[in-house]
Amino acid sequence: MLDKDQEWNVKIYESKIISETHRYTIGTIISSKKELKIAVKDGFIQVLSLQFPGKKKMTTAELLNGISFSEVAKVL
């Protein structure tokens, strides 16, 4: 994941595919207070649980309680 000048190697443990038309660039991260999605061709990957380097495995809601992503955040 890349956000401004910060880059993280993140492990994704659980995800869900959402088939939906959108106009986001592939790799764009869309987040709300409880949801984290990555734009892919023909839809999104909704991240349900993940682990940042040096941190414990957590749900997306737990992560988003302590971190927010800018509008330029993307997955490489």
Q: What is the pLDDT of residue 3?
A: 66
pLDDT of residue 12: 93
Distance CA 16, CA 45 (A): 6
Tokens at residue 47, please?
């991240």
Q: Give pLDDT tens digits for 6-17.
A: 777 889 999 999
What distance, in Å, lies between the first and last C-alpha atoms of the chain? Answer: 6
pLDDT surpassing 60 at residue 2: no
Tell me what pLDDT residue 76 has.
59
* pLDDT, tens digit (0-9, with 9 covering 90-100), for 15-68: 999 999 999 999 988 888 889 999 999 999 999 999 988 889 999 888 887 766
In 10 A of CB 68, how many CB atoms? 12
Q: pTM of the prediction? A: 0.79
